[in-house]
């Protein structure tokens, strides 16, 4: 679609062709979002009776299989983190936040923003087993900066999670070694402020570079937790730990498909020919 057209000439068909002309799903999605915002403003200003973008077809990206980390993968990931921690670089030496954040992601199945929002008042190390209450998340907004929102993504996301021993060890060490901060945050910057989610994600991308784990994001640890719980317990338990209202989303987007099949050879043996059966019996 060329420029210099009137608003009334921006039909759904023209916009559809413009959106579809973009060279990737992410660019098509971004283009549609920007166009919708533009034409919403036009509708509000009475320049158009309706938003033509609403009549364009739904964008459907190619669904990717859920991929979780194996124990071997986790060992390799931790090695990559250790290498990054000990690498010589200008500036101050990195603190223990990154490996500890990863351990808490694996211990809880939380979203990265939820882990960064944990305060010491949310943790009960005297309980049996020790627990952490998830009651907020970290947000960064223009004009407001980075702050702790006192409510996670949904009502189901408010939950109390029992902590495995390795997470308790991490927290007890941090409790002793960490400098106090104004927010009583378990994970705080050197200045005592909340970590930005985007900064932690960028740091992780630096760590994973050239490791073969380009597909691993902080959300992958969440999927790994869901997959393990599903294998050893069930999907409903996985959904409750992750803070989903039902296991439908958990099963579709967070649990890696089990490609193995049960051993039914004793059943299938009934299909064997007579000669094979007789020989086997002999």
Q: Which residue has the tokens 């062709």?
A: 17
Structure tokens belonging to residue 156:
């189901």
Q: What strands lie across the sheet with 123-124, from one edge to the other?
A: 123-124, 131-134, 159-162
Element (H, E) at 252: helix 247-253
pTM attached to this predicted model = 0.76
Q: What is the pLDDT of residues 47-75, one digit of tens each?
A: 889 999 999 988 876 667 889 999 999 99
Q: What is the pLDDT of residues 174-184, one digit of tens each?
A: 999 999 999 99
At 209 the pLDDT is 87
Chain-centroid distance of CA 201 in Å reads 11
* pLDDT band for position 278 (cuts 50, 70, 90): low
Strand ranges, E, within the chain: 123-124, 131-134, 137-141, 145-149, 159-162
DSSP 17-77: HHHHTSSSHHHHHHHHHHHHHHHHHHHHTTS-SS-GGGGSPPP-PPPPPP----HHHHHHH
């Amino acid at each position: 679609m060329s420029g210099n057209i009137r608003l009334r000439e921006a039909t759904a068909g023209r916009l559809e062709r413009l959106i579809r002309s973009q060279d990737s799903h992410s660019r098509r999605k971004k283009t549609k979002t920007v166009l919708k915002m533009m034409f919403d403003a036009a509708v509000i200003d009475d320049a158009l009776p309706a938003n033509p973008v609403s009549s364009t077809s739904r964008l459907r990206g190619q669904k990717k299989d859920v991929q979780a980390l194996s124990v071997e993968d986790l060992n390799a990931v931790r090695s990559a983190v250790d290498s990054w921690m000990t690498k010589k670089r200008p500036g101050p030496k990195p603190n223990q936040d990154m490996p500890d954040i990863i351990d808490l992601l694996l211990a809880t199945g939380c979203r990265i923003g939820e882990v960064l929002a944990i305060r010491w008042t949310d943790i009960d190390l005297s309980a049996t087993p020790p627990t952490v209450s998830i009651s907020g998340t970290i947000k960064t907004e223009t004009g407001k900066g980075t702050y702790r929102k006192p409510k996670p993504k949904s009502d189901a996301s408010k939950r109390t999670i029992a902590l495995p021993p390795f997470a308790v060890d991490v927290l007890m060490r941090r409790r002793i070694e960490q400098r106090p901060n104004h927010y009583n945050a378990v994970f705080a910057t050197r200045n005592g402020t909340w970590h930005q989610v985007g900064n932690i994600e960028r740091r992780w991308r630096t760590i994973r570079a050239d490791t073969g784990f380009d597909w691993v994001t902080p959300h992958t640890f969440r999927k790994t937790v869901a997959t393990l719980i599903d294998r050893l317990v069930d999907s409903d338990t996985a959904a409750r730990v992750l803070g989903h209202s039902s296991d439908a989303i958990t099963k579709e987007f967070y649990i890696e498909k089990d490609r193995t099949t049960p051993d039914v050879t004793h059943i299938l043996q009934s299909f064997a020919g007579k000669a094979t059966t007789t020989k086997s019996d002999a």
